[in-house]
Amino acid sequence: MKKIAVLGTGYVGLVSGTCFAEIGNQVICCDIDEGKILRLQQGEIPIYEPGLEDMVKKNQQEKRLSFTSDIPKAIQESEIIYLAVGTPMSESGEADLSYVKAAAKTIGQQLNSYKIIVNKSTVPVGTGKLVKSIIKEHVQDSCVDFDVVSNPEFLREGSALEDCMNMERAVIGADNDQAGQIIADLHEPFHTTIFRTDIESAEMIKYAANAFLATKISFINDIANICERVGADVTHVAEGMGMDSRIGSKFLQAGIGYGGSCFPKDTQALVHIAQEVGYDLKLVQSVIQTNEQQKYAVVHKAKEIMGDVNGKTIAVLGLAFKPNTDDIRYAPSLTVIPELIKAGANVKAFDPIAIPATQQEFSMKLSQEQQQNIAYSTDLYGVLEGSDACLILTEWQEVLQLDLEQAKSKLKVPLIIDGRNCFSLEMMLEKGFTYHSIGRPAVDRLRIPV
């Protein structure tokens, strides 16, 4: 059992800290936001992640997991300190390290015995050295030693607990073999593959992995756009490609682009890292550009099919960037809905859990008048009732299990524009829908009068 302090109770910190407690460690999760800590102490989870609330409460009850805003005390009482603070994207595209720097300064000021400081946050190459220098600068007793380790996270929102408890691999970058071994031993109960390397390589692995996955997504979306023009079906193309073991089938699902907390931020940060060392990373720049353009695909289709969306009511199914999360960061909905409103449409938006976050986001980005043109609901069929068209942006289970007969009876016109390719073309033809998806032939294109 290790005594662990996790600085930062965002997505990565809360999930990682809870999982470390679950395998038997003593974990203190810390945050400077006292209100957030108070809510966590009362069992209120600030993020939506299946199974997380139950695991947090279980480990609280079993006295392995606690929450505090007394960061100095948590640092002093712990053997291992995980940095899981936010690294948001700055205006220039680089990762904002202000929270990392502040945490490193606090660690230096409170260092009272040998500790291992582990970077869990996604940080640019060289951050390990930066953290080490900041701690050294602020340490009160120069005789007290410490080591810095990089241990990047690879959690997928919506399945983060499973990813952590059954992790594919743990990447551990360390300059001190003993410190690296301690962190490797910490991961032993996860029965995972341990990959040991230097700090800089570990930091780069995180960015390279995410950029590669984002590249697969943008690539298949580019192929999808070509498929629509030549009459091919991208789902068949992707399946045939995925059978090649050198390529694989994962992340080859065509749609309206990636979003969330990782891919948009990490691709931009990698481009900035390359620029800093004088390298023009054209491939990833193209990936970013393709992804931005892809978000507009369903809007272009709606205007093309309906002629004019001014005065029309459009049902939008899904606000979160993916199912099983309330995260709307860089979600396609944040692009699609304002575009529809700008074109004069009224929007009825469905999402089971991401409505509050979306309302808050739009309250800062849309005018009062524009906000009044959006009606939110967790009632899927209520949103479809009386709408002139339906746009699918998130493949929630409720959407995948949509009763098509009921949906058809609710819509004014049986028009679905599917940004996630949720349904088979054969089924939509059989049910009598005009159905446009991504990279596949349109179904009954001429049904809708302009």
One-letter amino acid identity for 266? D
The strand ranges marked E within 286-388 are: 313-317, 346-350, 374-377
Dist CA 180 CA 80 (whole Å): 12
End-to-end CA, the chain = 68
Q: Which of 140, 89, 101 is nearest to 7 (CA)?
A: 101
Handedness of CA 88, 92, 93, 97 (dihedral sign): negative
What would the two tokens of residue 197 be? 């390397």
Identify the bridge partners of residue 347 per DSSP, sorted by sequence position.
314, 374
Dist CA 245 CA 385 (whole Å): 45
432: DSSP letter? T
Tokens 């936010």 belong to 86
Q: Which of 398, 393, 255 is nearest to 336 (CA)?
A: 393
410: DSSP letter? H
What SS3 class is residue 91? Answer: coil
Residues with Cβ within 8 Å of 46's Cβ and at least 6 positions away in sequence, in order, are: 9, 14, 36, 39, 40
Q: Is 262 a catalytic residue?
A: yes
Handedness of CA 282, 224, 267, 179 (dihedral sign): negative
Dist CA 156 CA 167 (whole Å): 11
Q: Which of 29, 164, 262, 422 is catalytic?
A: 262
What residues act catalytically? 262
